[in-house]
Amino acid sequence: MVEAIRKSTREEREKWLKEAFYNLFNLRSEYVYIDLLTDSGTGAMSDKQWSAMMLGDESYAGASSYLIMKDAIKKLFGFNDFLPTHQGRAAENVLFSVLVKEGDLVPGNSHFDTTKGHIEFRKAKAVDCTIDEAFHPTLYHPFKGNIDLNKLEDVLKNNPKEKIPFVIVTLTCNTSGGQPVSMQNLREVYSLAKGFGIKVFFDSARFAENAYFIKIREDGYQDKTIKEIVKEMYSYADGMTMSSKKDAIVNMGGFIGFSDRKLYEEASVYNIMFEGFVTYGGMSGRDMNALVQGLDEGTEFEYLETRIKQVAYLGERLKKFGIPLLEPFGGHAIFLDAKRFLPEILKEEYIAQTLAVEIYLEGGVRGVEIGTLLADRDPVTRKNRYPELELVRLAIPRRVYTNSHIDYVAAAIENVFERRSQITKGLRILREAPIMRHFTVELDRV
């Protein structure tokens, strides 16, 4: 699908920013020239996906689209049962309704915000067991999404088993910068958790990009296909939650995969309540067809290589200019290190949000804050949580932009970098929601 985009003037953007209360989520998309807010649901579907949509079976129960999707999930991931949901957080909502209770602990590698939100909403706690290397923006480690086995073992050892419903591993780890988890780590996490009788789930939004990095960076996988690697990855999981809006390259959709039939049956009750009957969940038949085709295309090496190299192309350009960013480059996005980019801004003035606002102002390029706004307040003390890293994520939609667009983005950011010493004041909050505030927060300049 090809869409027109429109350039704007600096004066227009200044006005629109003010009207949007300095929250880029509040901007109309037509006010954005290059939209790197997210790679979620923003990909361009292929000819084969569009044509698969024509064959969607919209029957309420037992649709052929459901059965095709069941076969595809079994073939790719090895799970016998699945529930369709309208997107990833809906999969979390259904699964966690069965598994997460007040007072529970859910260890994992830097949980995504909706995952953490669904855990905390149930008065449970997400425990971050990511390796320490992940928090050093310039340190090279091929698998910065890895779980620190000692940290995980501490949690599993020092708490009653009933308090730990499962371990969740996010592939690739979005929150720590689109960083992959190695096959070895997946194997070890699974074996450690099994030893304690605890289940492992994969938050799978970018599972194919994770498999690409295993192929490229981990010994013994160079000659395997992405699909073979995926199959092995999921042999170390009891189930998965999936936002299909990323690596399945559809605009909307998700699912939960299960190896445990009893858990599938329990979750079905919540799926019917929140999403829809078990054979469509939150999805139309035509959407399930597009998803199945997208899963196949999204796990082809040539596609993944083109995509991930385009992300790296932006990273290399910015790096050459001396712009501080997170390395190695993520699979789906480049993450600017806002603390080093804008050293004068106080952490109380939302450093990464300030940088995201400046980049929009400069070139109509929309990125997203991964910093204090996203980290939210501590649910108990209600104090701001200041994360170690203040990042601006520039997420690249799949099959949408050319490298000329990427050059434009780089030039805009380079301009901001050149005038960075004049940016000395950040933002303050006018209004915020009690949970997941970053989506709707209203701000003003300090």
Residue 85 binds to ligand F0G (criterion: CB under 6 A) = no
CA distance 223 to 233: 16
C-alpha distances (whole Å) from 135 to each of 112, 206, 209, 368, 369 are: 16, 20, 21, 19, 17
Residue 87 binds to ligand F0G (criterion: CB under 6 A) = yes
Q: Which residues are catalytic?
A: 60, 112-113, 203, 205, 246, 438
* Backbone phi, psi, residue 213, to 5°: -65, -35
Residue 209 binds to ligand F0G (criterion: CB under 6 A) = no
Least separation in angstroms between residue 242's CB and ligand F0G is 8
Cβ distance to ligand F0G smaller for residue 94 or 345: 94
* 93 to 112: interface string for ligand F0G, x by CB under 6 A: -------------------x
Least separation in angstroms between residue 173's CB and ligand F0G is 8
Residue 254 binds to ligand F0G (criterion: CB under 6 A) = yes
Least separation in angstroms between residue 131's CB and ligand F0G is 17
CA distance 100 to 120: 10
Instruction: Please report the beta strands in 222-332, taking only residues with DSSP state E, as ranges in sequence order.
Output: 239-243, 254-258
Residue 114 binds to ligand F0G (criterion: CB under 6 A) = yes
Q: What sign has the CA pseudo-torsion 19, 25, 30, 35?
A: positive
What's 197's DSSP letter? T
Cβ distance to ligand F0G smaller for residue 57 or 315: 315
CA distance 221 to 208: 14
Residue 88 binds to ligand F0G (criterion: CB under 6 A) = yes
Structure-block tokens of residue 9:
């003037």
Among 22, 49, 69, 89, contact with ligand F0G (rule: CB under 6 A) = 89
Number of neighbours of residue 315 by Cβ within 10 angstroms: 22
Residue 245 binds to ligand F0G (criterion: CB under 6 A) = yes
Among 16, 22, 40, 152, contact with ligand F0G (rule: CB under 6 A) = 40
Residue 203 binds to ligand F0G (criterion: CB under 6 A) = yes
CA distance 341 to 352: 9
Q: What sign has the CA pseudo-torsion 170, 316, 394, 403?
A: negative
Contact residues for ligand F0G (CB under 6 A)?
38, 40, 87-89, 112, 114-115, 170, 174, 203, 205, 243, 245, 254
